[in-house]
Amino acid sequence: MAAKLQLPFLINVSLFCFISLSLSVHQGQGLSEIHDLLPQYGFPVGLLPDGVESYTLSPSDGTFTVRFTTPCDVRFAGYLVHYDKEIGGKLSKGAVRDVSGITTKQAFFWLSLSAIEVSGDGDIEFFVGPFSKKLPVKAFEKIPQCQKKQGVGSLDWRPLLGSI
């Protein structure tokens, strides 16, 4: 008799765990969903370019990944920014930490972005290690289009630095 009672209990517990795990990670497909989500965290919709294939976001700790159809380059306020095919980090209200997969070109070098913060004065601050640069939020009001790799003829250090 005890074995008969345990089977429905185990099925219910298994079903509960499956539903809980399914709800713990927000997943989406495509452009509009992720861009609609950004303002909920205090960011403008144009922080990410078009070409989003899918994304995941864990509401418990803010860990996210965004997958693009292809890697792409975008210009923001005169700065060339490269998005790998997959980027990630930890998203919270007004901040992204532990950024991976986004680089910016400074002179002849590609530098990895490490964090992004929205400041109270209408700017977005981008961090590359200990250095930062503020850009106006207005530069990110529209969703930019992905471009093929730019900067033809300039030396690209990403492949070399990635192997170190």
Q: Is residue 158 part of a domain?
A: yes
Residue 106 domain-assigned (yes or no):
yes
| Residue 5 lies inside a defined structural domain of this protein | no
Number of domains the chain contains: 1
Any domain includes 3: no
Q: Which own/partner pairs from 90-95 qualify as long-range (CB within 8 Å, at least 24 positions apart)?
A: 90/61, 90/62, 90/63, 90/64, 91/41, 91/57, 91/62, 91/63, 91/64, 92/41, 92/62, 93/41, 93/42, 94/41, 94/42, 94/43, 94/118
CATH of the domain at 101: 2.30.240
Confidence of residue 40 (pLDDT cuts 50, 70, 90): very high
17 has a pLDDT exceeding 50? no
Confirm whether 120 is domain-assigned.
yes
Whether 15 is covered by a domain: the verdict is no
Whether 52 has a pLDDT exceeding 60, the answer reads: yes
Query: Is residue 3 pLDDT above 80, yes or no?
Result: no
Structural domain includes residue 18: no
